[in-house]
Chains A and B, each alone.
Chain A
Amino acid sequence: QSVLTQPPSVSAAPGQKVTISCSGTSSNIGNFFVSWYQQLPGAAPKLLIYDNDKRPSGIPDRFSGSKSGTSATLVITGLQTGDEADYYCATWDSSLSAHVFGTGTKVTV
């Protein structure tokens, strides 16, 4: 059972916006950077956001991340059919001394 909780699924029409939450505690999100990943079916995850709100080169600005307290959020604007995937948050957990991933959210466009 993951220590980071995400909604199982979110959906929106093409061109619209979705928001994915990632809820944790002071042992993880509250004190450490959060990253976000997109996993297309049958593929390896891809880094979308690191250090809470930074985008790697090549990631469009339709993807944005933020963190407040013990929660983090990924926002995808201008939804495209190619955005249909599973999305995971991740961070370090000092109580577990482990990298932890969220439960995952399936985005349907």
Chain B
Amino acid sequence: QLQLQESGPGLVKPSETLSLTCTVSGGSIIISNYYWGWIRQPPGKGLEWIGSIYYTGNTYYKSSLKSRLTISIDTSEHQFSLKLSSVTAADTAVYFCARHAHNGGVDYWGQGTLVTVSS
């Protein structure tokens, strides 16, 4: 059974960079036709897709976050990562890593990790 697990600091200061890693286990991160993505959910609000990466390293991001966002993948470590720079309180959210087909469902999700932006 494929499992995804987010890791990283739960508290980030304003203007700093939020960094999270997702470790994939129980299956290969090198898989055709599926992407590895990040989705966030501010407290009490809905879901927002942030960006995704293919095992080849090809990425695509939400346009409003593109200037601050970097998603990378390390297939040898079975991990993919998120870096979001210049964070503000608006970036406070539960961050989920996930697997999805490009135009299909998100079939595997991590449990999510709360990241709070505060001084």
Contact = CB atoms under 8 A, between A and B. Distances in A.
Given A88-B47, A97-B63, A101-B46, A47 B106 contact: yes
Q: Please classify the interface of chain A as helix (H, G, I), strand (E, B), loop, or mixed, using the class held by over half of its residues.
A: strand
A88 B48 CA distance: 11
Interface in A72-100: 88, 90-92, 96-100
Nearest to B111: A44
Given A44-B96, A44-B110, A98-B63, A32 B46 contact: no
Contacts of B37: 99
Contact of A98 (B46, B62, B102, B107): B62
21 contacts: A32-B103, A33-B103, A35-B105, A44-B109, A44-B110, A45-B47, A46-B109, A47-B105, A47-B107, A50-B101, A51-B104, A56-B107, A88-B47, A90-B47, A90-B106, A98-B49, A99-B52, A99-B100, A100-B49, A101-B47, A102-B46
Q: Size range of the interface on B?
A: 20 to 34
A27 interface: no
Interface string B65-100: 000000000000000000000000000000010001
